[in-house]
Structure 1
Amino acid sequence: MRIALIEPDLPHAKLVGRLIFAGGHVCYHFTASAAFLQRAADDFFDLLITESWAGDHSAEDVIPRARTVLPGLPVIVLMSAPRESQIVAALHAGADDCLSKPVRGPEMLARVDAVLRRAGLRRPLNRRRDVIGGYAFDTAALAVTFRNLTVTLTPKEFRFALLLFNNLSRPVSRAHILETVWSRRRDLKSRTVDTHASRVRSKLQLRPELGYCLTPLYGYGYQLDAIPLETAVEAAVKVG
């Protein structure tokens, strides 16, 4: 998942970022809400984690502004030694949960997963558009646009492809793929995952000579890598 973090406290932001990465998500850090809102106008996030003071505005002000740009965006507010009145104010402003600083790893990841599960039941799809590495993902249409081409995928192919691009240059385990794409159906046959990987590779032209390589990791899962331009050119020459 793509998680935005607004945290002016840089040491704490590094801690939260590492935890988010360990949980299998991608973290985008901002030191103030203005930079986040500017990015959110052209990009998509699955979750916002913000300090109660978001560098330039309070979380109570940031939450409605964020949802104007990304309707239904789930929000977790971080607080240092919070008073009951602060927690109540954040929840009344629309926060889905509150966490005390400094965060505790297992608790934070469990709360993130819980908020994302609840949010999945209410998120509108019409605002979702991710642009990653030259590939534009349109959730409403289940379409991916790249190199002036638009390809329509099945729902599972789309979720699989977006998961790979969100974890570019990082291995993605079969367990994570099954949880994200097939809603935790661990009894799914292994060849079903491999078949979908093959279809995604073919439909999105994930070939070294075109700048990408989708590699099966024996006994683990898959990894999508961007190929440096000069390497891609060499591969294209060899193919030609």
Structure 2
Amino acid sequence: MRIALIEPDVRHAKLVDRLIFAGGHVCRHFTTSAPFLQQAVDEFFDLLITAGWAGDHPAEDVIPHARAILPGLPVIVMMSAPRESQIVAALHAGADDCLSKPVRGPEMLARVEALVRRAGLRRPANRRHDVIGGYAFDAAHFAVSFRDVTVILTPKEFRLALLLFNNLARPVSRAHILETVWARRRDVRSRTIGTHVSRVRSKLQLRPELGYCLTPVYGYGYQLDAIPQEAAVQTG
């Protein structure tokens, strides 16, 4: 799940990001609401977690703007030692839930999962495009476009590629791959995962000289890294 986080407090944002990652989700951090609202026009988010003061506007003002771009977007508001009146104001503004800062890991993840279940999250058909690192993912057609090329992947290859790009520069465990790509089936062999990784690497041209490196992480899974242009040129 792709979660947008608006948090001016960078130290607290790092804590929330670690918790979201531990829960198996992807977090995009924004220090104010303006860049988030701009990004939401082109990039889909499944959930918004915002501080009560979003760096440039109160959460009560951000929520309607966010939902004008992403209708039905679930929202959690974080507040420091909130008074009852503040919680009521946030809920009346459209927040689905409220959390006290600093957040507590198990509670936050439990509330996120509960909200996901209640919302029955479904990505709208007209918002099934993600652009990450120069690669445009079209979920409606299992197509990926990059460098003026469009490649059609199988559904499993597409889910695997999107998972790797969503976790750029982070190792992705085989267990997480199985859960995301094969719906938690445990009879899938490691060799099958490796074959799909190899196909994704080839079809999407994930090579150092072209700016990306997809490598196995011994005993754990796989990791996709972006190679800086200077390094890519030297490698080539």
Scaled to the shorter chain, the TM-score interval is 0.7 to 0.9
Structure 1 equivalent of residue 222 of structure 2: 222
- Pairwise CA distance, 1:152: 2.0
Structure 1: state its 5+ residue gaps.
none
SS of the equivalent of 2:163 reads helix
Structure 2 equivalent of residue 124 of structure 1:
124
For the Cα contact (< 8 Å) 1:71–1:123, is it kept in 2?
no
Cα distance per residue 1:8-60 (max 9 Å; x no partner): 33443333233234434443322322222122223332321012232333323
1:83 Cα offset (Å): 4.4
Deviation at 1:211, TM superposition (A): 2.0
Aligned counterpart, 2:100: 100
Is the 8 Å Cα contact of residues 3 and 47 (structure 1) preserved in structure 2? yes
CA offset digits 1:205-233 (Å, max 9, x no partner) = 11223222211223211111222334433
Q: Distance in 2 between matches of 1:115 and 1:48?
A: 11
The answer for the alignment partner of 2:17 in structure 1 is 17
Normalising to structure 1: TM-score of the pair? 0.84
> What TM-score, normalized by structure 2, do the two folds share?
0.86
Q: 1:106 corresponds to which letter in structure 2?
A: P
Structure-1 separation of matches of 2:118 and 2:189: 28
Mapping 1:1-240, distance limit 5 Å: 1-84=1-84, 86-119=86-119, 121-236=121-236
Q: CA deviation at 1:120?
A: 5.4
Q: Secondary structure of the residue that 2:214 maps to in structure 1?
A: strand
- 1:98 alignment partner AA: C
Cα distance per residue 1:93-148 (max 9 Å; x no partner): 43332212221012112322333455554331321322222111122332211010
- 1:38-87 CA-to-partner distances (Å, cap 9, x unmatched) read 22223332321012232333323322211221233222111233345544
Query: How many angstroms apart in 2 are the aligned matches of 1:117 and 1:155?
Result: 24
SS in 1 for 2:98: strand
One-letter amino acid of the counterpart of residue 66, structure 2: A
Cα 1:93–1:180 shift into 2, 3 Å: farther
Indicate the larger mover: 222-231 or 168-177.
222-231
Aligned pair count reads 236
Measured in 1, the distance between the counterparts of 2:80 and 2:227 equals: 43
- Separation of aligned partners in 2, 1:146 and 1:5: 27
Bigger CA drift: 165-174 or 200-209? 200-209
- d(CA) in 2 for partners of 1:144, 1:182: 20
Percent identity for Structure 1 against Structure 2: 82
CA RMSD across the alignment: 2.5
